[in-house]
Structures are given as structure tokens and as C-alpha cells.
């Protein structure tokens, strides 16, 4: 059975003792009746309150569609050109060409300059140079840590913080064993009349090419930005980004300082139809991350005279305990998914009545008394019934992904290692996982007379269970503000979405369960959006089979992303931002 823990709601503290209620009512009720008939206008007006969220003040206001005011003839023609067959054919060719360059990044990559697998990035950089000549002629172009790419279009007003557009050049490797399962070869960049197929087509060379198309078109149209525009492209996002974004972010921080960037847009969440309503869901937060290594060391020996329990058996017992007890589902006030629930309650025609009632109860109780950790979070538990994709927006996940142990069939395993991956829920920390795993390992260590070394930095030793965290442990990301009642970057983004796709689209805050290159940019800007702005209403395939066989992207989706970036850049340029 799944263990349930905390809840936000807490019973209000008991009131001090007072006079018996019946006695007070006996005195006040006749007076109230008399006052009502004699002096009705003098009584305070008490508003009606309902537990339904619809009775509360709106929590998901939607800005109007936002179009740039300064639209000269050349800029209008450039924007209209994106919808032409000529541009469509050209961008198909440019995206397909990018997909044909196999910029795979592998978990065991060696040092840059030594491991020849990095050298494919030179080919990709040369492709961009040849494909987008105006950018490389007119913008400041810099490389960071050899393969990181930074393009800077200086604005005319240095007092305005820059707009940062991000993507990554690398792609997930394609295992040789799966190549024959692809409809089209993974690095051929085939266009079939609707989709461009291939590794990286939707993760995320489409976004990178859309950004480059946008800047090239604006340059050709003679656009002169007031706000500086910066493009930053990492090259190892798929293996945690330490060599790419891990160097690019400090480079930009040195140049612009703390919160020196107005807003950053990177790959991320897209569009989703839920409860009968189309939502755009820019990721304004990310879960935290940690891998925990569990090493069990026990005596070896010949398998013909085995011990009752081997290191593999003990590790398996711990795995069973881990999987038997999931982390609790709960929603803190700053979890972006709570914002999506409010958006659903206010705008979606099929939003479940039970969820709406729970939202209303939460809004009412949270304004009356502090949070509680003594009750289950009934709102989160009800929302989690929609499936794992929703459940893990509100719950720390755990997955036993790697196990190694034993070297020979007739030799008892002296060492077994298990790696457990965690994505940390908003409102928790990696220490939540460390404490939980320690509590599970402690009784096992005692049971088998093993020494427990839990996150104490001690090297593994004989007859022990050792727990250690990975070096890429990451706290939960700061949540981007989502104000729309002021001129905020989020309001600009939402207004741009509604300009491109119409005001029937509801923009709601999203949360990423994975991590993007933005993990390195937290001190560069408070306004980070992990968002894929392309959408195709006829061929809506979500994220387009990223990281698996038959990755692809709809060309309409890709063209719409170019349209969005063209408007967003100009809308940001004109915005007088309030922070």
C-alpha cells in the first residue's frame, strides 16, 4: 500500500474558552431580528462563500493576444513570409540538414580535444555558419569551451536586460540494435510531407533552427532591437550539460551579472489538451535530481558452500523495501501544477467537479489557518489519479535503474551496487531521499550484522552497506514568477502564445520532471521558461518520440515555432518590464 504523508491543510487551533454558545445566541438573536427590520441598511454585508473554486478570485487570468506595435512594411513582410510555401520548403531543408549531422553525446565522453567523438560539433558549427550567413556576418559570435556557441545581437539601449534564447546541439545516441526499427534512418532527415524524421528533430534541433531562422529573418528585414538578444547553444545537454551550459552560464554571468538577463527561453514543455481545453504549458519550474549509489559488501566464497544471504540477496531485499514505499504526493503552494489546476477549474469545460471542490476547500482553508503535515493531501491524491505523468508532477520519484554484482557463476558476489534515480518534488530537497533511504537501510544493516555508512563520505568497506549521492545532485529549481497583472516576462510569453494560436488557448504554468540546461542559469535570470512554442493542431504528437525510435517533428509545428519566436523577440523588445 502506498504510504501517504503530509497535507497543506491544518485544523485551526482551538479557540479560547468563552461563554456557552446557547446563552449568547439566546441574547443576540432577538436583537439581530429587531435590528434587521428597524435598521436594515446599518448591518454589515456578509458575502456568500462557497467551497467551489469558482467563487474565489480568479487565479488564472489570461492576457490578451500581444502583437508588436512597431510593424514596418519590411517586418510585416518578414512575418508573413514565414507562412509561405517558399519559407516552409527552405526551413524543411535547413532542419533536415541539421538532423543529418549526428551530434551524439555519450555518457562516457572523454576530455574535449582528446575524445574524437566531440569533433562532430565542429561540423555542426560549420553547418550553421554556412546556413545562416547573416547571423555570422552581423552578430558577435563566440565559442565557449570549444563547442559552446554564443551569438550576441547588441541592442541600442544598454539599460535594458537582454533576452536569452537557448537550445542544445547534441542529441541522444541511437543504439545500433534499434536502427532497423526506424521508419526512416535516424540521421537521414527525411521529410515525408508532414514530418521531418530523425534523431534531434524534436529534441531539440527544431528549436535551435527556429531561433536561427528568426534572427536571420529579422536581420534581413532591417530590424534594430533596443534590447540585446543573446543566443546560447550548449553541446552536451543530454549528458547533464557540464561541459556546455556548465561553462556558458558562468560566461554570461560574468558579462551580465546576477539576474542580468530579462528572460530565458529553452526547450521544455509544450501544449496539452486536458479536460476539454488546449493548454500551453511553459515550464516555470523543474524538479530536483539525485542518484543514490547503494553498495553492499559481504564475504565471497565458493558457490557450492554458500552463505545464507549474498550481497545480491541483501541488495535485493533493500530494493524491495524501496519499491514498497513510495514518496507521498503533495502540492505546495509554489508547485506550478497547482497553477494548472486552477487554470483548469476556471477555463476547462470538463474539469472534474471533485477536483474543483477540493481546490475551493484548499483556497478557503489556506487563507484561514497554516499548513498541516498531519493529513494526506487529498487534492494531490485526487489529481494523481490521472496517471503517472500527472502524479509525478507532485511526487518525488524513485527508480532503481542500475544493478551490478557478481563476476562468476560459482563465486559468491563480494560486492553489489545499486543506483537509484530520484526526481525531487517541489517543497522537498535531495536530503528527503537521503534520509528515507537511510531509514530503510538501517534495519537491514543491523539484521545482517553489517556496518552502515550513510552519506558520511566514508569509502566502502568490507561487511558494510554504503550509501552515497551523485556529484550531479540538484536542488529543486527556483520557480519563475507568473504574474500577468503587471508587464512581466511571463505575461509577454503568454500574450505571444495567444497572438500566434488564438485566445482559445489557455496559458498555464508547467513544471518539468526532467532537467534542461537551464539548471546552470538560475543566477543569470529569475525568469526561466522551458517551453517548446511549436504546435500543430492537426498532427499533435506531443514531444515527438524524443529519446526513442522514430523521433520526428511536424513541419507545421516547426514553422509555428518560428512565428512565435519572431513575435516574442519583438514583444520583449517593446515591453517595459516590471519586476
Which one is catalytic: 237, 346, 536, 573?
A: 237
C-alpha Rg value of the chain to the nearest Å: 28
- Write the CB contacts of 390 (distance below 8 Å, at least 6 apart in sequence): 337, 383, 384
d(CA 468, CA 459): 9
Fold adopted by 73-274+478-574: Aminopeptidase (3.40.630)
* Other C-beta atoms lying within 10 Å of the C-beta of residue 249: 25
| 547 labeled part of a ligand binding site | yes
168 annotated as a binding-site residue:
yes
Burial (CB < 10 A; 0-12, 13-18, 19+), residue 39, is: exposed
Q: What is the 3-state secondary structure (H, E, C) of 48-102?
A: CCCCCHHHCCCCCCCCCCCCCCCCCHHHHHHHHHCCCHHHHHHHHHHHHHHHCCC
404's CB contacts (< 8 A; 6+ apart) are 416, 417
Q: Is the dihedral of CA 484, 490, 495, 501 positive or negative?
A: negative
Q: How much is the pLDDT for 58? A: 84
Alpha helices per DSSP H over 384-455: 388-391, 430-447
| Per-residue pLDDT at 539 | 82
Per-residue CA distances from 445 to 28, 101, 467 (Å): 67, 51, 12
The 3-state DSSP class for residue 555 equals: helix
- What CATH number does the domain located at 286-367+374-469 have? 3.30.70.360
> Hey, what's the torsion of the CAs at 213, 218, 224, 227, to 10 degrees?
-40
pLDDT, position 374: 55
- The CA dihedral of 541, 542, 547, 552, to the nearest 10 degrees, is 40
User: Which sequence spans correspond to the domains of the chain?
Assistant: 73-274+478-574, 286-367+374-469
Q: Is 237 considered catalytic here?
A: yes
The pLDDT averaged over each successive group of 10 residues in the chain (579 residues) is: 32 39 42 40 33 64 94 91 98 98 97 98 98 98 98 98 98 95 97 96 97 98 97 97 98 98 97 96 97 97 95 98 97 96 97 96 65 75 96 97 96 98 97 98 98 94 96 96 96 98 98 95 98 91 82 96 98 94
Q: What is the pLDDT of residue 56?
A: 57
Indicate which residue of 104, 170, 216, 286 is catalytic.
170
Q: Which residues contact 456 (CB under 8 A, 6 or more apart)?
A: none
| 115 known ligand binder | no
Is 266 annotated as contributing to ligand binding?
yes
Strand 464-469 versus strand 451-454 pairing type: parallel
138 labelled ligand-binding: no
Is 323 catalytic? The answer is no
Cell of 188: 537521414
Amino acid at each position: 500500500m502506498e504510504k501517504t504523508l503530509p497535507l497543506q491543510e491544518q485544523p485551526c487551533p482551538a479557540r479560547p474558552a468563552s461563554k456557552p454558545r446557547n446563552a449568547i445566541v439566546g441574547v443576540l438573536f432577538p436583537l439581530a431580528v429587531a435590528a434587521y427590520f428597524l435598521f436594515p441598511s446599518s448591518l454589515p454585508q456578509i458575502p456568500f462563500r462557497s467551497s467551489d473554486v469558482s467563487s474565489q478570485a480568479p487565479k488564472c487570468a489570461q492576457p490578451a493576444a500581444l502583437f508588436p506595435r512597431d510593424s514596418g512594411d519590411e517586418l510585416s513582410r518578414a512575418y508573413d513570409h514565414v507562412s509561405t510555401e517558399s519559407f516552409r520548403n527552405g526551413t524543411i531543408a535547413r532542419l533536415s540538414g541539421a538532423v543529418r549531422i549526428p551530434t551524439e553525446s555519450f555518457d562516457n565522453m572523454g576530455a574535449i580535444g582528446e575524445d574524437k567523438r566531440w569533433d562532430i560539433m565542429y561540423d555542426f558549427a560549420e553547418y550553421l555558419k554556412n546556413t545562416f550567413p547573416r547571423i555570422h556576418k552581423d552578430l558577435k559570435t563566440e565559442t565557449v569551451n570549444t563547442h559552446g556557441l554564443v551569438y550576441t545581437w547588441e541592442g541600442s539601449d544598454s539599460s535594458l536586460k537582454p533576452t536569452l534564447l537557448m537550445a542544445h546541439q547534441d542529441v541522444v545516441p541511437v543504439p545500433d540494435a534499434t536502427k532497423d526499427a526506424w521508419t526512416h534512418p535516424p540521421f537521414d532527415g527525411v521529410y515525408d510531407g508532414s514530418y521531418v524524421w530523425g534523431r534531434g528533430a524534436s529534441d531539440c534541433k527544431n528549436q535551435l533552427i527556429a531561433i536561427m531562422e528568426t534572427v536571420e529573418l529579422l536581420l534581413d528585414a532591417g530590424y534594430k532591437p533596443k534590447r540585446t538578444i543573446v543566443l546560447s547553444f550548449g553541446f552536451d545537454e543530454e549528458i547533464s550539460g557540464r561541459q556546455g551550459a556548465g561553462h556558458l552560464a558562468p560566461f554570461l554571468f560574468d558579462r551580465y551579472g546576477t539576474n542580468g538577463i530579462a528572460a530565458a527561453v529553452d526547450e521544455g514543455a509544450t501544449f496539452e489538451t486536458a479536460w476539454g481545453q488546449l493548454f500551453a504549458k511553459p515550464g516555470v519550474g523543474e524538479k530536483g535530481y539525485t542518484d543514490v549509489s547503494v553498495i553492499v559488501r559481504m564475504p565471497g566464497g565458493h558457490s557450492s558452500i554458500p552463505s545464507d544471504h549474498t550481497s545480491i540477496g541483501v541488495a535485493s531485499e533493500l530494493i524491495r523495501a524501496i519499491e514498497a514505499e513510495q514518496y507521498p504526493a503533495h502540492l505546495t503552494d509554489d508547485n506550478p501544477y497547482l497553477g494548472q489546476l486552477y487554470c483548469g477549474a476556471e477555463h476547462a469545460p470538463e474539469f472534474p467537479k471533485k477536483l474543483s471542490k477540493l481546490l475551493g476547500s484548499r483556497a478557503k482553508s489556506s487563507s484561514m489557518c497554516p499548513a498541516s503535515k498531519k493529513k494526506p493531501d487529498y487534492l494531490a491524491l485526487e489529481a494523481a489519479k490521472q496517471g503517472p505523468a500527472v502524479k509525478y508532477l507532485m511526487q518525488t520519484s524513485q527508480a532503481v535503474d542500475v544493478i551490478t554484482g557478481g563476476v562468476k557463476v560459482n563465486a559468491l558476489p563480494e560486492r553489489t551496487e545499486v543506483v537509484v534515480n530520484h526526481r525531487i518534488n517541489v517543497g522537498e530537497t535531495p536530503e528527503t531521499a537521503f534520509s528515507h533511504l537511510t531509514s530503510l537501510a538501517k534495519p537491514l544493516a543491523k539484521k545482517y550484522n553489517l556496518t552502515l555508512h550513510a552519506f558520511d563520505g566514508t569509502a566502502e568497506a568490507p561487511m558494510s552497506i554504503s550509501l552515497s549521492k551523485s556529484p550531479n545532485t540538484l536542488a529543486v529549481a527556483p520557480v519563475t514568477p507568473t504574474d500577468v497583472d503587471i508587464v512581466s516576462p511571463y505575461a509577454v510569453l503568454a500574450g505571444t502564445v495567444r497572438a500566434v494560436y488564438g485566445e482559445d488557448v489557455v496559458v498555464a504554468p508547467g513544471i518539468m520532471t526532467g532537467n534542461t540546461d537551464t539548471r546552470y542559469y538560475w543566477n543569470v535570470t529569475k525568469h526561466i521558461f522551458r517551453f517548446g512554442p511549436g504546435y500543430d493542431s492537426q498532427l499533435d504528437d506531443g514531444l515527438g518520440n524524443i529519446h526513442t525510435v522514430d523521433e520526428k517533428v511536424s513541419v507545421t509545428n516547426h514553422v509555428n515555432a518560428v512565428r512565435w519566436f519572431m513575435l516574442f523577440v519583438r514583444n520583449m523588445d517593446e515591453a517595459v518590464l516590471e519586476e
